[in-house]
Amino acid sequence: MPAYLISDVTAKDPEAFRIYRARAAASIARHGGRYLVRGGPIEPLEGDWAPHAVVVVEFPDLERARAWYRSPEYASALAVRDEALSRNLILVDGISEVG
């Protein structure tokens, strides 16, 4: 069943952010992930949450998502993360297809 990374991102340094984004995207693809949401307009409907930019990545399952997060490929993106951005990041399990 799919798993989803959900992130609320605030860019800090534009050049470091560009590097982080390219490295993260390449590592996500290598681990079977795909972007479902990558920024774009946000329309608050309820509550006080005011995210800056939301990113949602789908992986085939929790194991692949966890393997990506701990991978050497993603470590190269993490090397510039703190300079590039601040964020809140969660991993959630999806649901099985109901048919």
CA distance 84 to 92: 24
| 22 falls within a domain | yes
| 93 falls within a domain | no
| 97 falls within a domain | no
Please give the tally of structural domains in the chain.
1
| 95 falls within a domain | no
The residue behind tokens 């490295």 is 23
Nearest to 7 by CA among 63, 91, 94: 91
Q: What is the pLDDT of residues 59-82, one digit of tens each?
A: 999 999 999 999 999 999 999 999
pTM: 0.91
| 28 falls within a domain | yes
Cβ neighbours of residue 29 under 8 Å, at least 6 residues apart? none
Domain coverage including residue 65: 3-43+52-81
Are the C-beta atoms of 11 and 17 separated by less than 8 Å?
yes
Q: Indicate which CATH number applies to the domain containing 13.
A: 3.30.70.100
| 87 falls within a domain | no
Whether the pLDDT of residue 99 is over 90: the answer is no
Residue 2: how many other CB atoms lie within 10 Å: 19
Nearest to 80 by CA among 6, 20, 2: 20
| 94 falls within a domain | no
| 67 falls within a domain | yes
